[in-house]
Amino acid sequence: PVDSSAPLHLASVLAELGRTEEAVKGYRQACRLNPVSQRAFAGLGANLLKLNRVAEALPVLERAAALSGRDPRALRSLAHGLRAD
């Protein structure tokens, strides 16, 4: 995979600043560059949920959970998304 660290870090900073729409774009870019990045998919899903875009967030969160090796944090995020649905 191509190095996705720059868009991933930028998206994380944007999310912390509350610039959620911009963060989503950065996380999407990171996901495209590295389709096996659990952090990128988790960040994208979390920020989509912040925007109440649950239908978009659910498959992304499922992907993050699948990539996580059953990490409890990823499963908790998926459960949060399913609850919001």
Cβ-contact 54, 85 below 8 angstroms: yes
**pLDDT 10s digits, 54-77:** 999 999 999 999 999 878 888 888
**pLDDT 10s digits, 1-51:** 568 899 999 999 999 999 999 999 999 999 999 999 999 999 999 999 999
On the CB side of 82, CA atoms within 13 Å amount to: 9
The region, left, alpha or beta by phi > 0 then psi within -120 to 50, assigned to residue 52 is: left
Q: Tell me the pLDDT band of 80, cut-offs 50, 70 and 90.
A: confident
Strand, coil or helix: 77: helix
